[in-house]
Amino acid sequence: MRHILLLALSLCVVACSKSEERANALVTINYTPSFKTGCIVMTAQDESNPSNVVEAEPIRTDALAKKGPPMILGVIHKDGWGTRWKVTVKAHEQTCEGKLVDEAETVVDLSGKGRRDGVTVELVTPDEDRDGYVAKTAGGTDCDDSGPNAAARSPAKSEECDEIDNDCDEQVDEGFDKVWYADKDGDEAVSETDKRTQCAQPEKYIRLPQGKAFDCDDADKDNTPGKPEVCDNRDNNCIGGADDGITDKGKACSSDVCQGTNVCNLETKTLMCSALPPKLYYPDVDRDDDGDKGVVATKVCAGETVPAGYVENFHTDCDEADPSTNGRVTTELCDAVDNNCSDGIADELALCGGTLKQLTDYYVTTDNRDWNTVSTREGGYPVWIAGNGGKLAVKREANKKFESYSFGDSSPPTPGDGSLPVNANNCGNHDWTASWVDSQGRVFLGARNGRVALHNGAADHTCEASTTPTTVAITGIVGFETDGLTRYLYLTDISGRLLKWTLGGSPPVEILNSAGGSVELHGLHALREDLLLAVGGATNSKQNRVRSYNGVTGGGTATTHTATSDDTNDLAKAVWIGEENKACAVGDDGHVWSWAGGTTWDRVSVPAPNATSNFTSVVMRYDRVNPQSPGNEQCYMVDGSTTGRLRRLTKFGWAKEPVMPSTAEVALKDLALTTTPTGIEFWIVGENGRVIHYPEP
């Protein structure tokens, strides 16, 4: 430690004599300059007589603070003392009674007279922080004398909680509670094991609350001693475990038909059944994603298998056999059916331009006419109808009435209703049984007596009639065109023959004879010239009711198909092919068949009231541009009962039928169907002047 030697005041240990003859000496006392607050005491003792002891007046260093060390004291020989004195110098911190921090001894020789050489003693009394306490390392009581910041530690200081031994008693922060307990969930209940010992309060730590038990879960404020226990899978009151006192927890329960156990509802913190309510499923036979509105829901619990063909919740479908009809339909189709299942009203007039109505045109209803056949071309017009007694009429456009080319007709008595005068160009007095219209709007006719005719609808045109190709009823006609002109015509007759008429050439010729008349053919339709279907029946067998023929490469042979029946007298009467492997056929005594390719036809049971009706005609609705259309593969058919109806069969079953006018309760003989941009248009004809059209204004 550095010693700064400063001039000090000379003092005497004993009373100084005026006589200079006595021996005397100076004692120079060097002490640490920073020792500003302390006391230095010098004692002299006669070596020859130790009982001779004298102590100088103690000197406080603060009195010398301005000059600093050294302190110089004089020693003068005293009578009765020996000449060798032991001089002891002691330094005390703070006061003269304070802690002895250093001392030094020396010997002063006072033999002879006059001044002797002085002696010097060194005292180590560092007080670097100037707090009046000498460092412990130098014998004092200051535990930190390292510099100016050591104002913080001193025996005179009061102990503070600052991780420091402020009062230098070799204890740190004594008397202070430094234990903090974790309260991380903020519920004022603390963890017993998670604690810290320090002066500053750590974040999310508090003192141990008096009179409160330790927290059982310091991560959850809902688990706290004293809280009420609720059903939440937790120990809320920290007593007895999770949900103690919730006695029904875990017991069996049910939610409707679904079984489960009582568990905690973590939202309401009350008991609930673990079984969810069942989901409601409804049969969706037609796969339109809308369940049957008329059935009771099937309840399916979680984990159970959903029945095939069922949909959940949605059940507004009023016709499960028709995918175009359900409660989710937003726009009605023009098909004489209530597609959106909303009000039972089919096809609002404003949307479709009309409804299903019976026509009252003069040439249609007069004289109790019996209409047997109706034909039209794709696009809707012209429409030709023909029947018994040479009756023949055409409707050229939607806003015009039927014109007559009938044998024996006369002009209406009051032409003011819009009916045109009768045309003289008729095709004779024949009972027309079959017809077909080509792309030019010309009609080809077949009669019950085997007569075949062609009429082009012009007022100045004479009906073209071939020589009679057969003597029995023509039952079916279909033609094929090349370059916009009809080139070939195929016909069937009731004797089981298939005839081909090359127009502009020879009369119709026989190309196929079904067992020499033992098989009757009653209907004909074709998709192409290489795919014709003819239906009928053998008079002595339940087989051979359908035959397919390739008019291009057939060579006079046909492929026999099998269509089961209940009776040998129940003949197939009509057929319609919509696509290569899609067709329908109908016949007597409620017989209906569907075809999906191959040579086997599946019988379809007919529900009441047509279970035994004699069906007379059938058409199939098939959109080849959009084969996935919900209206596709629908077969429409009429019957010859006295309460004729229009039935509708889809690939899903019997769909709701369009409601016929009440005046249509007669035998119905034929129908024709075309597609329109918004739906379909069809014509139905029957006995007693019945001509029914959809849509009719």
φ, ψ of residue 523 in degrees (nearest 5): -155, 155
pLDDT of the residue at 15: 36
Is residue 683 pLDDT above 90, yes or no? yes
Both tokens of 95, joined, read 């006061």
519 alpha-carbon distance from chain centroid: 61
* Residue matched to tokens 């019988």: 603
Both tokens of 285, joined, read 């036979």
Is residue 16 pLDDT above 80, yes or no? no
Contacts 24+ apart (CB under 8 A), 218-226: 218/182, 218/183, 218/184, 218/185, 218/189, 218/190, 218/191, 218/194, 219/184, 219/185, 220/185, 221/185, 221/186, 221/187, 223/185, 224/185, 224/187, 224/188, 224/189, 225/189, 226/189
pLDDT tens digits, one per residue of 505-545: 777 788 888 655 578 899 999 999 999 999 988 766 555 57
Alpha-carbon distances of 9 from 26, 44, 54, 395, rounded to whole Å: 11, 19, 20, 152
Is residue 586 pLDDT above 50, yes or no? yes
d(CA 374, CA 390): 14
Beta bridge partners of 89: 42, 104
Beta bridge partners of 41: 90
Average pLDDT over residues 96-120: 88
pLDDT tens digits, one per residue of 282-304: 999 999 999 999 999 999 999 99
pLDDT of the residue at 661: 82
Determine which helix (DSSP H) or strand (DSSP E) holds 684, and give its type and residue range. Answer: strand 679-686
Nearest to 486 by CA among 454, 530, 461: 454
**172 and 166 Cβ atoms separated by less than 8 Å:** no
Is residue 613 pLDDT above 50, yes or no? yes
C-alpha R_g of the chain: 64
Does residue 672 sit in helix, strand or coil? strand
pLDDT tens digits, one per residue of 219-235: 888 889 988 999 999 89
Residue 341 backbone zone (phi > 0: left; psi -120 to 50: alpha; other: beta): left
Nearest to 405 by CA among 441, 363, 374: 363
Complete DSSP assignment for 3-25? -------EEESSPPPS-TTS-EE
**Which residues are CB-neighbours of 7 under 8 A, at least 6 positions away?**
67
**593 and 604 Cβ atoms separated by less than 8 Å:** yes
**448 and 470 Cβ atoms separated by less than 8 Å:** no
d(CA 410, CA 404): 9
Asked whether the bond before 609 is cis by omega within 30 degrees of 0, the reply is yes
Does residue 137 sit in helix, strand or coil? helix
What number of CA atoms fall less than 13 Å from residue 544's CA on the CB side? 16
pLDDT of the residue at 517: 57
Is residue 456 pLDDT above 50, yes or no? yes
pLDDT of the residue at 67: 81
Cβ atoms < 10 Å from Cβ of 264? 20
**Which residues are CB-neighbours of 504 under 8 A, at least 6 positions away?**
none
d(CA 683, CA 660): 12
Both tokens of 252, joined, read 């069996």
Is residue 559 pLDDT above 60, yes or no? yes
| Top-confidence range, 438-452, 499-513, 537-551, 558-572 | 438-452
**476 and 470 Cβ atoms separated by less than 8 Å:** no
Provide the sign of the torsion angle of the four alpha carbons 144, 150, 156, 162, taken in this order.
negative
In this structure, of 187-196, 311-320, 413-422, 649-658, the range with the lowest mean pLDDT score is 413-422
φ, ψ of residue 349 in degrees (nearest 5): -55, -40
pLDDT tens digits, one per residue of 388-424: 999 999 999 988 999 999 999 988 877 667 788 888 8
Average pLDDT over residues 18-40: 80
pLDDT of the residue at 4: 28
d(CA 199, CA 186): 20
d(CA 497, CA 513): 5
d(CA 605, CA 592): 7
Average pLDDT over residues 71-95: 90
pLDDT tens digits, one per residue of 341-352: 887 777 777 788
Is residue 614 pLDDT above 60, yes or no? yes
pLDDT tens digits, one per residue of 302-316: 999 999 999 998 899
* Residue matched to tokens 């005026």: 18
Average pLDDT over the chain, rounded to whole?
A: 87
pLDDT of the residue at 552: 85
Is residue 26 pLDDT above 70, yes or no? yes
Asked whether the bond before 658 is cis by omega within 30 degrees of 0, the reply is no
Q: What is the dihedral angle through the alpha carbons of 12, 14, 20, 23, rounded to the nearest 10 degrees? A: -100
**423 and 403 Cβ atoms separated by less than 8 Å:** yes
Is residue 686 pLDDT above 50, yes or no? yes
**Which residues are CB-neighbours of 404 under 8 A, at least 6 positions away?**
363, 392, 393, 420, 422, 423
* Residue matched to tokens 């959809």: 694
**131 and 156 Cβ atoms separated by less than 8 Å:** yes
